[in-house]
């Protein structure tokens, strides 16, 4: 990490309770060549991966529903979101991590995953990059009920629904998770020519 447009970067640890929150001070060179001092907070929770499980024959997807405290604190009535399977890399490569998360959360052991891109999801304050995947699934790939890990206090409901149900939920504003909306819209654009 280096840029000739940033200098005198310093970090102050504010919290290391769950993940790391830092106050970062630096000087940034402006277009006119002058330097400006700035200070921001950055939250480092590590990088993650997300996968949309879909079945073209059944025209269905597998999503998960779980409680998300920050959404509850910000007005999401019951705090539950419908999402694609996702998790932190925890020192694993993204493909290995998402295969493990998919099996833990949904109960499906994925045979192949396709990486479609990686994105910064909240670059104003969070360092996380999410690696996005899509994967086909079939009933034969189900090896457990899923639901997440008890030791991680995950209480996940596995939800299988039709493409049309998922797309309608987007239109009605019922799917409010960005990574899920992105992958469902990608599925919609990819499958338009296949169906």
Decide if pLDDT at 10 tops 90. yes
- The predicted pLDDT at position 63 comes to 97
Does residue 134 share a domain with residue 53? yes
The answer to whether residue 17 is domain-embedded is yes
Does residue 59 share a domain with residue 124? yes
Dihedral of CA atoms 71, 76, 82, 83 in degrees, nearest 10, equals -20
Please say whether the beta carbons of 110 and 128 come within 8 A: no
Does residue 62 share a domain with residue 19? no
The CATH code of the domain that includes 145 is: 3.90.79.10
CB burial string 13-27: b at 16+ within 10 A, e below:
eeeeeeebbbeeebe
Decide if pLDDT at 193 tops 90. no
Summarised one tens digit per residue, pLDDT across range 81-136 is: 999 999 999 889 999 999 999 999 999 999 899 999 999 999 999 999 999 999 99
Does residue 124 share a domain with residue 168? yes
Domain count, the chain: 2
Please say whether the beta carbons of 105 and 147 come within 8 A: yes
Mean pLDDT value of segment 160-172: 95
Contacts of 34 (CB under 8 A, 6+ apart): none
Does residue 128 share a domain with residue 83? yes
Does residue 118 share a domain with residue 76? yes
Does residue 145 share a domain with residue 186? yes
Does residue 82 share a domain with residue 165? yes
Does residue 80 share a domain with residue 130? yes
- The predicted pLDDT at position 97 comes to 95
Does residue 78 share a domain with residue 23? no
Give the range of the structural domain holding residue 19, as residue numbers without chain letter.
6-44
Decide if pLDDT at 195 tops 90. no
| Gap between the Cα atoms of 90 and 60, Å rounded | 30
Summarised one tens digit per residue, pLDDT across range 59-86 is: 999 999 999 888 899 988 899 999 999 9
The answer to whether residue 10 is domain-embedded is yes
Bridge partner residues of 24 (DSSP): 11, 40
What long-range pairs does 57-62 form, CB within 8 A, spacing at least 24? 58/162, 59/162, 59/163, 59/164, 59/195, 60/160, 60/161, 60/162, 60/163, 61/160, 61/161, 61/162, 61/163, 61/166, 61/184, 61/187, 62/106, 62/108, 62/137, 62/158, 62/159, 62/160
- The predicted pLDDT at position 152 comes to 63
Structure token digits, residue 10: 């310093």
Does residue 80 share a domain with residue 13? no
The answer to whether residue 1 is domain-embedded is no
What is the CB neighbour count within 10 angstroms for residue 39? 10
Mean pLDDT value of segment 164-181: 95
Does residue 169 share a domain with residue 147? yes
Decide if pLDDT at 153 tops 70. no
Summarised one tens digit per residue, pLDDT across range 26-51 is: 999 999 999 999 999 999 999 999 99
- The predicted pLDDT at position 163 comes to 95
């Amino acid at each position: 990490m280096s840029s000739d447009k940033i200098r005198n970067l310093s970090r102050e640890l504010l919290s290391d309770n769950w993940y790391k929150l830092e106050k970062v001070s630096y000087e940034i060179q402006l277009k006119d060549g002058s330097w400006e001092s700035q200070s921001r907070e950055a939250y480092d929770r590590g990088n993650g991966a997300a996968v949309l499980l879909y079945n073209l024959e059944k025209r269905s997807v597998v999503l998960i529903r779980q409680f998300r405290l920050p959404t509850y604190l910000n007005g999401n009535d019951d705090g539950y979101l419908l999402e694609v399977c996702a998790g932190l890399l925890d020192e694993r490569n993204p493909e290995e991590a998402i295969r493990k998360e998919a099996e833990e959360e949904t109960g499906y052991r994925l045979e192949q995953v396709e990486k479609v891109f990686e994105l910064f999801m909240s670059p104003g304050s969070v360092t996380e990059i999410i690696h996005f995947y899509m994967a086909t699934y079939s009933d034969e790939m189900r090896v457990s009920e899923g639901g997440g890990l008890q030791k991680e206090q995950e209480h996940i409901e596995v939800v299988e629904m039709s493409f049309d149900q998922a797309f309608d939920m987007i239109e009605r504003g019922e799917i409010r998770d960005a990574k899920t909306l992105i992958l469902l819209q990608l599925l919609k654009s990819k499958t338009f020519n296949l169906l």
